[in-house]
Chains A and B, each alone.
Chain A
Amino acid sequence: MANLLWLQGGACSGNTMSFLNAEEPSACDLVTDFGINVLWHPSLGMELGDNLQQMLRDCISGKIKLDIFVFEGSVVQAPDGSGEWNRFAGRAMKDWVQELSDVSDFVVAIGDCATWGGIPATAPNPSESVGLQFLKRDHGGFLGRDFKSKAGLPVINIPGCPAHPDWVTQILVGVATGHAGDVTLDEFQRPKTFFQSFTQTGCTRNMHFAYKVSATEFGQRKGCLFYDLGCRGPMTHSPCNRILWNRQSSKTRAGMPCMGCTEPEFPFFDLAPGTVFKTQTVMGVPKDLPEGVDKKGYIKLTGAAKTAAPQWAEEDMFVV
């Protein structure tokens, strides 16, 4: 039996909603099949008021063993570092976060706000939000660069806006069943099993990417969303087209550009007008090229792809 506690800071509850929709395994499976005891969760917790405060204090004192501490949302430090803008159970949430992280075997950050600060940390960041161990790409965050939980791991970051429900439950099962050693992390502390491939991996529009045929409107069935509509699929580490949403779709499959929400910079360009759903270019060349491709190679590749493009690549091959 592994005790799990889930708290929520500066957040929209999106990751909680996502978690409750998990299927492989489901939130119920965590309890019934994998021996996870959910001590408290914002949507599931039974304790209220003094009882909740007592339970949190018991976790900190060690009376209740805390195996997994899950945090959703940014750590709000405003005003002036006091954290008073986000109070929970009688004190600043950030103080609970610090003390619970210190006593927990594993600390798991769920969603962009908890991992990198996310939208709340976007400039000018009035809530002084940070992620648990990162602020955007800067290592450090609220707990500091050197933080390690009692099991010796840094914060396990599961980003996304929201994180896919099955990424969350599968990592929780791995940790709770003694397989944390199998969870290897990348430089941003994301589990490699999910975040080593790209959103583009498995995208049904890959043939249009290859032959440089562009989609120019949302929902268009033909064409790649990278060239005009700002899709970040070739630069974003996520398995969105391998582990599908609702088991059947993804943004790009539905004709919506990937917004790169599993990367530390999300939301890109601080949401400045004209930067969302628009491919940024410099003298006609995309500002952000697919990872590992340089400008010279990209131009050569384009010439070859255009020359080799078959006729069907220019046609709408889908028949209703």
Chain B
Amino acid sequence: MMEDGLETQTEPFPEDHVQFEAVLKELRDLPKDDLEGKLVVSGFVDHPYGEDDQRCLECMYYLVHRKWCDLPELAVPVEPEWWCRLWRI
């Protein structure tokens, strides 16, 4: 899906934990198996993002060995060079 150019919602980046929670709430309202919906709402892109080249590799929720996002609301396979707007360090 990512390679096929899936358009995702990368903005706005949640500036604080309140805005972060708002995105999480949107994710919770999705059906658990709605992979496309999760990718869109969380704003995934398949490359580093922003001034600091943020990427999944440095994100708190990235599990290196499983290549997996451990954020309970997401729980999707991810690559280290990806990024999403729930990035948190």
Q: Known: A278-B17, A281-B17, A283-B15. Contact between A214 and B70, CB under 8 A?
A: yes
- Bound complex: CA of A216 vs CA of B75, how far in Å? 13
Asked if B62 and A311 make an inter-chain contact with CB atoms under 8 angstroms apart, the answer reads no
Total chain A interface residues with beta-carbon distance under 8 A: 24
Q: Contact at B58–A279, with CB atoms within 8 Å? A: no
Which residues between 168 and 184 of chain A lie within 8 Å of chain B, taking CB atoms?
none
Q: Mark B64-78, 1 if CB is under 8 A from A, else 0.
A: 111000111000000
**Contacts A274-B21, A284-B89, A299-B52 given: A306-B64 contact, CB under 8 Å?**
yes
Number of interface residues of B (CB under 8 A): 25
Do B64 and A274 touch (CB < 8 A)?
no
Residues of A within 8 A of B87 (CB): 284
Once the chains bind, are A282 and B15 in contact (CB under 8 Å)?
yes
Q: Which of A264-320 contact B (CB under 8 A)?
A: 274, 278-286, 298-299, 302-303, 306-307, 309, 311, 314
> Is the C-beta of B57 less than 8 angstroms from some C-beta in chain A?
yes
> Does B82 make an interface contact (CB < 8 A)?
no
Cβ of B26 to closest chain A Cβ, rounded Å: 17
In the complex, the answer to whether B57 meets A303 with C-beta atoms within 8 Å is: yes
- Asked if B17 and A302 make an inter-chain contact with CB atoms under 8 angstroms apart, the answer reads no
What residues on A are CB-neighbors of B17 within 8 Å? 274, 278-281
Q: How far is the CB of B35 from chain A (nearest CB, A)?
A: 20
B1 sits at the interface (CB 8 A): no
Interface residues of B in 33-89 (CB under 8 A from A): 52, 54, 57-58, 60-66, 70-72, 87-89
| Bound Cα distance A265, B6 (Å) | 46
- A212–B60 touching, CB < 8 Å: yes
Residues of chain A contacted by B66 (CB below 8 angstroms): 314
Min Cβ gap A293→B in Å is: 12
Q: Is A106 an interface residue (CB 8 A)?
A: no
Known: A214-B70, A280-B16, A303-B58. A298 touches B89 (CB 8 A): yes
Contacts A284-B88, A284-B89, A285-B89 given: A309-B64 contact, CB under 8 Å? yes
Across the interface, B58 reaches (CB within 8 A) one of A214, A299, A311, namely A299
Residue pair A281, B64 in contact (C-beta under 8 Å): no
5 contacts between A and B (CB under 8 A): A282-B15, A283-B13, A298-B89, A306-B58, A306-B62
- Known A280-B16, A311-B65; further 8 A-B contacts with Cβ < 8 A: A216-B72, A274-B21, A279-B17, A281-B16, A284-B88, A303-B58, A309-B64, A314-B70
Interface residues of A (CB under 8 A from B): 212, 214, 216, 227-228, 274, 278-286, 298-299, 302-303, 306-307, 309, 311, 314
